[in-house]
Amino acid sequence: MFSDGPFHEGELDIQERTGERDIAMMNSVAVKSEILGGALNFIDRQPLIVVASEDSNGDLWASMLFGKPGFMHAPSTRELHIDLTQSVGIEGDPLLTNISDDRRVGTLLIELDTRRRLKINGRVSIHTEEQLLIAVEESFPLCPKYIQRRKVRLPDDKNAILTTSLARGTTLGAEEIALIKSSDTMFAATSNPEGNLDISHRGGKQGFVSVVDGKQLRVPDFPGNSMFNSFGNLQLNDKTGVIILDFAARQSLQISGRAAVLLDQEDPNGETGGTNRFWTLDIEHWQRATIPALELEFIDASPFNPK
């Protein structure tokens, strides 16, 4: 799979333009075509998974499934199993419809209270009402930067707190803007030239995502692992989908649209942590809904968040 290295031309372009190619190559040794054996127990104890999928119009969506620890496990280093009977999604989320037509997925398992995360990308090999089985094509752990530590769990009775679809639209309203301003966590779905999907975490201080207006967001790009998976994908396919979360209020905002990468920008307020990089998201569709999980405790903000 990696005979030419793990990077495609979009990623290589951004790495070269930012002068971070050498760092990217050092970090790329963690990219494997299977799950690291030491991560199998990590998967067993996770209460949530974030998933990228593509709908029949070619639009990307970032989705979430929540469950009691044990609703996911890896039968082997090349498979990820999700028990749909033990999980709850967001009402109106197109995930399961999308993967019925297009089996490609990008997933991220993130343990918020320890700041550990694991990326698993591949294709759904089995999809029934009871289960998903994902054939792993790419997997690697990620650094703990910009994750706000909190404990999030599904209630013992997963039907006790139901999700509710609150609103949909194409232009943000006051409630959606308020959610964005109170959020410190976002996940972004992108697609590479070969059609493989990817989803990445973005975090920061509350309101780190700026609302330019009702049709556009601006997001700072903080120093990371230099591989530029998301930026590289966006160089060659500008479609993206994000989910922005306010865990305390149990609110989610899913947005599908088109993104633009902005390098070498002025940053007088230090929003980017010194990278001078941003990206914008032009909004085409959004959905605001409740999430089924509870925030049991907010522990602390990431010490890496730009001041």
Q: Are strands 210-213 and 185-191 parallel, antiparallel or unpaired?
A: unpaired
Question: Would you state the pLDDT for residue 229?
Answer: 96
Question: Would you state the pLDDT for residue 5?
Answer: 67
Two structure tokens written together for 32? 């494997």
Mean pLDDT of 168-181: 98
Residue 167 bridge partners (DSSP): 288
Residue ranges covered by each domain of the chain: 9-300
Question: Would you state the pLDDT for residue 49?
Answer: 98
Residue 293 has φ and ψ, to the nearest 5°, of -90, 160
Separation between Cα atoms, residue 111 and residue 29, nearest integer Å: 23
Two structure tokens written together for 297? 């405790």
CB atoms within 10 A of CB 263: 14
**pLDDT exceeds cutoff 50 at 190:** yes
**pLDDT exceeds cutoff 70 at 59:** yes
Mean pLDDT of 112-122: 97
Calculate what percentage of the chain has a pLDDT beyond 90: 93
Question: Would you state the pLDDT for residue 165?
Answer: 83
Mean pLDDT of 20-37: 95
Question: Would you state the pLDDT for residue 156?
Answer: 84
Domain range 9-300, CATH architecture? Roll (2.30)
Q: Are strands 48-54 and 104-111 parallel, antiparallel or unpaired?
A: antiparallel
Separation between Cα atoms, residue 203 and residue 221, nearest integer Å: 10
Amino acid 15 reads Q
Mean pLDDT of 163-189: 96
Separation between Cα atoms, residue 177 and residue 180, nearest integer Å: 5
- pLDDT digit string, tens, across residues 194-228: 889 999 999 999 999 999 999 999 999 999 999 99
Q: Cα-Cα-Cα-Cα dihedral of 305, 215, 269, 245, to 10°? A: -20
Separation between Cα atoms, residue 180 and residue 206, nearest integer Å: 8
Q: By mean pLDDT, which of 38-42, 90-94, 149-153, 155-159 is the weakest?
A: 155-159
Mean pLDDT of 129-158: 94
Question: Would you state the pLDDT for residue 1?
Answer: 39
**pLDDT exceeds cutoff 80 at 158:** no
Mean pLDDT of 40-49: 97
H or E segment and range at residue 12: helix 9-18
Instruction: Give the ranges where the chain is alpha helix by DSSP (H).
Output: 9-18, 21-27, 40-44, 95-101, 174-182, 229-236
The pTM assigned to this predicted structure is: 0.96
- SS3 at position 50: strand
- pLDDT digit string, tens, across residues 229-253: 999 999 999 999 999 999 999 999 9
Whether 23 and 13 have beta carbons less than 8 Å apart is answered as no
Residue 25 has φ and ψ, to the nearest 5°, of -65, -40
Two structure tokens written together for 44? 């067993």
Residue 109 bridge partners (DSSP): 118
Question: Would you state the pLDDT for residue 3?
Answer: 40
**pLDDT exceeds cutoff 50 at 2:** no
Q: What is the overall mean pLDDT for the chain?
A: 95
Whether 247 and 179 have beta carbons less than 8 Å apart is answered as no
* Residue 84 per-residue DSSP state: G
Two structure tokens written together for 184? 């410190």
